C-alpha cells in the first residue's frame, strides 16, 4: 500500500544510501506511516543494502531507536515523519519529514465559522503541513482575521508544534484570542490549548472538517485535578526517569525528588523505557508517581493507571509551591 499524499523522498533516500555506502539501514517511523515500510525496504534492498523496518512504537523525534539500530549492526537510521530533534547520535540519522501535499483550504474555510468569535488567531501545524501554512494563513486573512505565526526558535519551522513543545504557540499567546491547528487528530490541538489556555480549533484536511477540542481539554483538566487530589495523602513516590533518547530528564527528576522530600514525602528514582501500568504495578508500596519522561503519558493516558501519575508542575501544586490557577496560566509543558 502506498500513501500517495506523503512525500517519502525516495530519490533522496537512494542518494544518501549510495553516498554513505550504507550496508545495513534501519527504518524508523510512527504508526501512521508504517504501512510504507515494506515498500521503502524494497527500494533499499535494490541498492544492495539490508533493510530493517522497526515494528516497535515510535512516539516522535524524541523516541529514536538508536540502541535497537546498534544491536543489529545498522550503519544508518532513516527516521520518517519528524524533523531533527536530538543532537548528533552514534549512528548517522537521515531525517525525512514525510510532508503531505493534501489541500488544507477546505478544512480551514470550515474552521473560519468556528473562529467567528475571535479576531486575532494563532496558527500552528505539524511538520507534515508546514509547507501549507501560508495557504491556511491566506484563507484566514481573506476571512478578515489577524494571523500570528510564532517562532520561538526551538523547533525547525515557525508555526510548528510537536507533542511536548508548544513554544511557537506560546510565543504569540499575548497577541491572540484563539488558535487554529491545521492537521489530523486531536492530539496536538489538545496540547496547544493545555499549553496556552486559549480556545483551539482543528482544521483537519484529511477529513475536510473543523471542530473544537474544548470538551477534550475540559475532561483532561478534571483528570489532572483529580490526580493531584488523589496523591495528597501519598507518602511514598516513585519519580520516573525515561530512558528514551529524547526523554531522559535526570535533573528534572532529581529536582522533583528534592521537592517531595523537602515536604516530608519519600521519593525513589526509577528508570524506565516504556511507562505502562504493568511496569508501575511492580512497586506496590509506592502510592503515586511523578513522570519526567514524555508529559503526554500522564495527560492523555491518566485513566489507564491505577495510581496517580503527576508531572513536575503538578507536584509543585501538590506541595503548595504553585497554585492551580498559576499552573493553568503556565501550561503543562513549561518547567
Q: What is the pLDDT of residues 41-62, one digit of tens each?
A: 999 999 999 999 999 888 887 8
Quote the percentage of the chain above a pLDDT of 70.
98
Report the alpha-carbon angle 219-224-230, nearest 5.
125
Residue keyed to cell 482543528: 202
| Residues sharing a CB contact under 8 Å with residue 332, sequence separation 6 or more, in sequence order | 194, 195, 224, 295, 299, 311, 313
pLDDT at 150 over 60: yes
Dist. CA 208–CA 130, nearest whole Å: 17
The confidence score (pLDDT) of residue 335 equals 55
pTM over 0.85: yes
Fold annotation for 105-212: Rossmann fold (3.40.50)
Cell readout for 259 is 521537592
The confidence score (pLDDT) of residue 4 equals 60
Q: What's the mean pLDDT in 288-292?
A: 96
What CATH number belongs to 10-96? 3.40.50.11840
Helix residue ranges, H only, the chain: 10-20, 37-45, 66-71, 105-114, 133-142, 167-170, 187-196, 214-230, 250-262, 277-280, 296-300, 312-318, 324-330
The confidence score (pLDDT) of residue 167 equals 94
Dist. CA 133–CA 130, nearest whole Å: 5
Q: What's the mean pLDDT in 12-28?
A: 96
Quote the percentage of the chain above a pLDDT of 90.
79
Residue keyed to cell 498559576: 326
The confidence score (pLDDT) of residue 2 equals 52
Between 224-238, 266-280, 294-308, the lowest mean confidence (pLDDT) is in 294-308
Q: Count the Cβ atoms, other than its own, within 10 Å of residue 66.
A: 18
Q: What's the mean pLDDT in 150-179?
A: 94
pLDDT at 188 over 90: yes
Domain boundaries, the chain: 10-96, 105-212, 217-330
The answer regarding whether domain 217-330 maps to CATH 3.40.50.11860 reads yes
The confidence score (pLDDT) of residue 331 equals 85
Q: Count the Cβ atoms, other than its own, within 10 Å of residue 62.
A: 21
Asked if 139 and 165 count as a contact pair (C-beta separation under 8 A), the reply is no
pLDDT at 1 over 70: no
Amino acid at each position: 500500500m502506498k500513501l500517495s499524499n506523503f512525500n517519502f523522498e525516495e530519490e533522496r533516500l537512494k542518494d544518501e544510501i549510495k553516498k554513505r555506502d550504507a550496508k545495513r539501514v534501519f527504518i524508523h517511523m510512527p504508526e501512521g506511516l508504517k504501512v510504507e515500510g515494506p515498500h521503502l525496504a524494497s527500494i533499499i534492498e535494490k541498492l544492495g543494502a539490508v533493510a530493517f523496518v522497526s515494528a516497535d512504537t515510535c512516539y516522535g523525534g524524541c523516541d529514536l531507536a538508536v540502541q535497537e539500530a546498534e544491536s543489529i549492526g545498522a550503519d544508518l537510521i532513516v527516521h520518517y515523519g519528524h524533523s531533527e530533534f536530538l543532537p548528533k547520535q552514534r549512528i548517522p540519522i537521515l531525517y525525512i519529514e514525510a510532508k503531505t501535499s493534501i489541500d488544507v483550504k477546505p478544512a480551514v474555510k470550515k474552521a473560519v465559522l468556528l473562529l467567528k468569535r475571535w479576531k486575532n488567531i494563532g496558527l500552528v501545524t505539524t511538520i507534515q503541513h508546514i509547507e501549507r501554512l501560508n495557504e491556511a494563513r491566506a484563507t484566514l486573512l481573506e476571512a478578515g482575521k489577524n494571523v500570528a505565526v510564532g517562532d520561538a526558535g526551538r523547533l525547525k519551522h515557525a508555526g510548528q508544534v510537536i507533542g511536548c513543545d508548544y513554544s511557537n504557540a506560546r510565543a504569540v499567546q499575548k497577541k491572540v484570542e484563539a488558535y487554529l491547528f491545521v492537521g489530523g487528530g486531536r492530539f496536538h490541538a489538545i496540547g496547544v490549548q493545555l499549553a496556552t489556555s486559549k480556545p483551539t480549533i482543528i482544521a483537519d484536511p484529511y477529513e475536510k472538517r473543523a471542530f473544537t477540542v474544548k470538551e477534550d481539554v475540559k475532561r483532561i483538566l478534571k483528570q489532572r485535578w483529580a490526580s493531584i487530589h488523589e496523591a495528597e495523602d501519598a507518602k511514598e513516590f516513585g519519580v520516573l526517569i525515561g530512558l528514551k533518547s529524547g526523554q531522559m530528564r535526570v535533573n528534572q527528576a532529581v529536582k522533583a525528588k528534592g521537592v517531595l522530600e523537602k515536604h516530608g514525602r519519600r521519593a525513589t528514582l526509577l528508570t524506565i523505557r516504556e511507562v505502562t501500568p504493568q511496569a508501575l504495578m511492580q512497586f506496590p508500596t509506592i502510592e503515586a508517581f511523578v513522570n519526567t519522561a514524555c508529559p503526554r503519558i500522564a495527560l492523555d493516558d491518566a485513566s489507564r493507571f491505577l495510581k496517580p501519575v503527576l508531572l513536575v508542575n503538578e507536584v509543585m501544586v501538590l506541595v503548595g509551591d504553585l497554585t492551580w490557577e498559576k499552573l493553568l496560566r503556565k501550561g503543562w509543558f513549561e518547567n
